[in-house]
Chain A
Amino acid sequence: MSLPPDSPPPIPNLELKARLLLLVMVVLVAGAIGYLMYARGAFERTQEVVLIADDSEGISVGMNMTFSGFAIGRVGRIELSPEGNARIIVNVPHKDAHWLRESSVFTMESGLVGGTKIRAFTGVLTDPPLPDGAERKVLRGDAAAEIPRMIASVRELVNNLGALTGPEAPLNLSLANLQRTAEKLNGPQGAIGVLLGNDADAKRLSLALERSNALLARLDGLVLKADGIAARTDGIIAHADEQVFGAKGLMPETRATVVQLNGLLAETRNSLKKVDAVLVEAQAIGANTREATTDLGALRAEVEASLRKVEHLVNEVNRKWPFARDAQIKLP
């Protein structure tokens, strides 16, 4: 074709410049699309955490879940469960999933200014990691919802305060009593009067105190006497010491006795030696006696034989003697 009649003056390297412009535009648009996809988390591998809440108000798709103030996940989907609860599906990138553990707690807070915030808290980082698709109840904290409750509590508190500070209130009566007590404290009876309440008791207490004083005085006397006794006992003990351990005491004499006993023992030992010698001699006598006893046997036998002979002789004399008794021989 032919260019229109108003065809412009030629521009050097027009084609190159135009292609460059097209390239710049394509790069800009593609870069913007890529950056937005990256910003939306299109290139992240994620795992799901299902948060169960009774109300999904303030939650929107794409909002952050934070851990220690850092965003570690974003809401991917919100559903209504068959039980009527809101199921908030949060996508957590794998690289941040290790912050979530079995014991992690999830909260949903909505402040007075700004949107609702989902936060995760992990107390024990050594617990087993949260599995993919785990379901957790989310704790809801709502500053705006707290206000009516707080106002109700404050009203109750104010009522209680009113009741406390009323004219017939126990606190007022207590204060009046305290004032009376203070007056009594400053009075003649002082703290005793406050403690005991009536005057009679206070007087009795005073009396008891006086008696106690008297008792204490007597006790003092007793203690003095006991001191005297103790002093005397000390004298006795000193005397006994002298008797026992003095120069003419029991102990030196005992020592002399022991020395004498030693001498006695030595003498006894000598005597015993002599007795030993006597015994040796007695043994020798014994031996002799045994020999003599053996000779005595023979002697006895001889004596017996002599006696038999004498008996026989006597028997013979008797038989031959005229006035002898009848000799009878009895036969068995």
Chain B
Amino acid sequence: MTEAQNPSTRATADPVLARFARAGAVASATASASADQLLQMAPAALTQTPIRWLRGWWAVAQFGAQMLVLMLSPSSYRRSQHPALYYQLHAASVPILPGFVAMSALLSLVIIRIVVATAQSYGLSQYALDVLVRTLVLELLPLLVALYVALRFTMPAGEAVAELREQGQLQALWRAGGDPARDVLLPRVLGGVFSVVLLAALSAIMALVMTYVTLYGFTNWGFASYTRDVGQVFNPAATVILCMKAFFFSLVVAILPLAPDPRHEGASLQRRDEISQLGRLFALILLIEVLSLVGNYY
């Protein structure tokens, strides 16, 4: 590109020449780029793609397993670990809490009003509660929480970790006798898991309270029947599926953005990579959601 830049600086006096010069530079750059692409389009690279895809997921699975083991080992919760853990717990939940509470309350209120009004207009208000608990508490809010935490906490954290990797600081920590997985990655993973569980519980309880208030107003006479109806929706199978879904959502959201991507092998993440990572995350969350729906309704 240095050859192309020189004529352009020289020809700035004449706009016409400058225009031609820029066009020539663009053309030569395009030609060199397409030549590079053609060089890269070797048959070997094409056959490598599924293998790289598999390797990528394998690395993610390995990283996930490593994090799970670290989560379950008591040595990860030593007193010396506490400051990092506390910092990440705080960073994962407190900054995003007000925004999430406002958003989930607004969304819940809109959906509750829509469902209640629709059910009343069809004379089926006795089924409104059932529909609301199933759609909001069991399905929508956990999904919303997972995406919100991923976008607001774990993906930025993953970017920061990738930068640390790129700068070699994790290697330096390793050489200095520390454990990067335990000291740097695990607190972020735990922060993500904690944040998902906390926000899911909070939003579910808020939605239940708002549903009650919308249906019965600020009175307590409907509490018994409301509780009974909620209890009917939360049968053992639905409760277990909800708990498992929340748990797997939190794992996916916390682990996937922090996992190393073998395609880059230390290179910093670009915007396109972030979008593809979000796509992968969304695909996994959707898969869990579909599995939970299958478990609930089939």
Contact = CB atoms under 8 A, between A and B. Distances in A.
A21 B201 contact: no
A25 B234 contact: no
Contacts of B225: 70-71
Contacts of B90: 11, 14, 17-18, 21
A17 B230 contact: no
Interface of A: 1-6, 8, 11, 14-15, 17-19, 21-22, 24-25, 28-29, 31-32, 35-36, 38-41, 61-64, 70-71, 74, 113-114
Nearest to A24: B198
A4 B173 contact: yes
Would you call the interface of chain B mostly helix, strand, loop, or mixed? helix
A38 B224 CA distance: 10
State the 3 A-B residue pairs at the shortest beta-carbon distance, nearest first: A39-B231, A18-B86, A28-B201
- Interface size for chain B: under 10, 10 to 19, 20 to 34, or 35 or more residues? 35 or more
Interface stretch (B26-34, B76-84, B277-285): B76-84
B197 A1 contact: no
Given A14-B83, A114-B127, A4 B197 contact: no
A321 B83 CA distance: 212
B232 interface: yes
20 contacts: A1-B80, A1-B183, A3-B84, A3-B183, A4-B169, A4-B184, A5-B169, A6-B164, A15-B83, A17-B90, A17-B94, A18-B89, A21-B93, A22-B194, A38-B227, A38-B231, A39-B231, A62-B231, A62-B232, A71-B228
Contacts of A25: 194, 197-198, 201
B91 interface: yes
B67 interface: no
Given A22-B194, A61-B235, 19 more contacts: A1-B80, A2-B178, A3-B83, A8-B91, A14-B83, A14-B90, A17-B94, A19-B86, A21-B94, A25-B194, A28-B201, A32-B201, A36-B234, A38-B227, A39-B234, A41-B231, A64-B232, A71-B228, A113-B124
B87 A11 contact: yes
B85 interface: yes
B160 interface: yes
A28 B194 CA distance: 12
A4 to B, nearest CB: 5
Contacts, number: 98
B176 interface: yes
B176 A2 contact: yes
A38 B234 CA distance: 11
B216 to A, nearest CB: 15
Interface in B143-194: 160, 164, 169, 172-173, 176, 178, 180, 183-184, 194
B239 A36 contact: yes
Nearest to A18: B86
A31 B89 CA distance: 21
A217 B234 CA distance: 100
Contacts of A18: 85-87, 89-90
A22 B230 CA distance: 26
| Centre residue among A4, A35, A41, A62 by max chain B CB count within 10 A | A4
| Centre residue among B86, B91, B126, B230 by max chain A CB count within 10 A | B86
Given A36-B234, A64-B228, A15 B82 contact: yes
B205 interface: yes
Contact of A39 (B160, B180, B228): B228
Nearest to A17: B90
